[in-house]
Amino acid sequence: MMSSSIKLIHPSKKINGTVQLTGSKSESNRALIIQALSKGIVNVHNVSEAADTMIMTQALNTSKATPQESTIINIGPAGTAMRFLTSYLSLIDGNFTLTGTQRMQQRPIGILVDALGSLGADIQYQKETGYPPLEIKGGMKQLSNTVSIAGNVSSQYISSLLLIAASLEKGLNLEIEGELTSRPYVSMTLNMLSEAGIQHEWIGNTISIKSQEFKESSIYVEPDWSAASYWYAIVALSNQGSIILPGLKSHSLQGDIAIIDIMAHFGVASYFQDEGLCLTKVNEGTDKQLFDFKECPDLAQTVVALAAAIRRDISITGVETLKIKETDRLAALKNEIEKFGATIIADGETYHIKTANVQVPNEISFDTYEDHRMAMAFAPLAMVFDSVVINEPEVVEKSYPAFWEHLQTQGFQISK
């Protein structure tokens, strides 16, 4: 078991090496649902080593076990698993209790449950209306093939419905109400379904998928662009930096490939080579101030921590969904950057990071709020501060379990 806190230092402040990232958690969880619905004729390769993916694998295996009066499936803190399994379990035979951690039981799921209910699913709330745990009676008898769902709350609700659409007797016409947040994640879902032989139409705000069979196929899971973002921050903060990340694609399904353009403004150049993606620190970047994370919200913490540490005032938007993640990520970011003099000022749905009062501490301790991305967003600050302490560092297991080991291979010294 890892220590409850670790200290990071990086004596040279220089980076040069190769890091093999684990498979994308987002792609892996979609691929595993597709594989399960295909009855195994779709093969999946390079599955993520992340804890969330292990939880999804275990949950799917549990759901296939001999049906009992009620099978309890506890997904812990895995938000994607909660959303995807809510739809999946409604479809397959059996009775299920789907639950998770205390924080998971505070994360809303009513929009998805209502949508599934309108299609014919039998889902009841065990405790508070609109929140897990859920009592799901599987084997849905489809009543309708059309459903409307808000596009600005969580794209995972939409992806959850799309993943089961082809397996519904009447198919699905999904109408997206209003602006769609995190569009690349919906496109990722549809592209992966296409790789497995499932066709769709997307006209205006309506996505249509007919009832159809999966085709024998293989899905290769690309390495995780979210994980790559922390290496971008490390290179940006280095005195001299260059890192190669094998396997990443220039035409990725993952929305977090947006980190290429964002980090160019912080002085990091990206080159695709035979060996992989090469990140190199080339200059101090541009003076761009406003960054929109509507289509890549998982990158916001990395960029905010980076900007605060280098005393660069920026403004961010498109981050409202961060309030319902593993923690309220906006509140957590504000708490942590205020420890060294920066702050976040809200202006409607735009947030201004102010750094005039930033001080460089000899040692600073950051809390992680049971949130993997808080740990990994603040660890790179050891490149500019003499010593950084990360509390509850084991949270990285959720998406990037080898993170601390990878840091050590690149010159970070880690002690308990």
175-194 pLDDT, tens per residue? 999 989 889 999 999 999 99
Mean pLDDT, range 398-414, rounded to an integer: 97
Question: Given pLDDT bands bounded at 50, 70 and 90, which one contains residue 109?
Answer: very high
In sequence order, what are the residues at sequence separation of 6 or more whose Cβ sits closer than 8 angstroms to the Cβ of residue 388? 7, 8, 9, 363, 364, 365, 366, 378, 379, 381, 382
Cβ–Cβ under 8 Å, residues 188 and 27: yes
Show which residues are catalytic. 298
Say yes or no: do domains 5-23+223-415 and 25-220 share a fold: yes
Q: Residues 25, 30, 32, 33: is their CA dihedral positive or negative?
A: positive
Q: For domain 25-220, give the fold.
A: UDP-n-acetylglucosamine1-carboxyvinyl-transferase; Chain (3.65.10)
Residue corresponding to tokens 């620190």: 281
> Is 80 exceeded by the pLDDT of residue 325?
no
> Is 80 exceeded by the pLDDT of residue 304?
yes
> For residue range 41-70, what is the model confidence (pLDDT) as tens digits?
999 999 999 999 999 999 999 998 766 678
> Is 50 exceeded by the pLDDT of residue 1?
no
> Is 60 exceeded by the pLDDT of residue 231?
yes
Question: Given pLDDT bands bounded at 50, 70 and 90, which one contains residue 327?
Answer: confident
Q: Domain coordinates of the chain in residue numbers?
A: 5-23+223-415, 25-220
> For residue range 11-38, what is the model confidence (pLDDT) as tens digits?
999 999 999 999 999 999 999 999 999 9
Q: What is the pTM of this model?
A: 0.85
Query: In terms of pLDDT, which residue wins out, 284 or 95?
Result: 95
What is the predicted pLDDT for the residue at 284?
86
CA dihedral 13, 14, 15, 16 (to 10 degrees): -160
> For residue range 68-102, what is the model confidence (pLDDT) as tens digits?
678 999 999 999 999 999 999 999 999 999 999 99
What is the predicted pLDDT for the residue at 2?
60
Mean pLDDT, range 375-384, rounded to an integer: 98
> Is 90 exceeded by the pLDDT of residue 318?
yes
> For residue range 122-151, what is the model confidence (pLDDT) as tens digits?
999 999 999 999 999 999 999 999 999 999
CATH number (3.65.10.10, 3.40.50.12780, 3.40.80.10, 3.50.50.60) of 5-23+223-415 reads 3.65.10.10
Q: Average model confidence (pLDDT) for the chain?
A: 95
> Is 70 exceeded by the pLDDT of residue 226?
yes
Percent of the chain scoring above 70 in pLDDT: 99
| Main-chain dihedrals φ then ψ at residue 3, nearest 5 degrees | -60, 155
Percent of the chain scoring above 90 in pLDDT: 92
Q: Please, what's the b/e burial string for 324-340 (b: 16 or more CB within 10 A of its CB; e: otherwise)?
A: ebbbebbebbbebbeeb
Query: In terms of pLDDT, which residue wins out, 383 or 325?
Result: 383
> Is 60 exceeded by the pLDDT of residue 272?
yes
What is the predicted pLDDT for the residue at 396?
96
Among candidates 256, 86, 92, which has minimal Cα distance to 159? 86
> For residue range 246-268, what is the model confidence (pLDDT) as tens digits?
999 999 999 999 999 999 999 99
Q: Where are the extended beta strands (E) located within 247-340? A: 268-273, 276-281, 290-292, 314-317
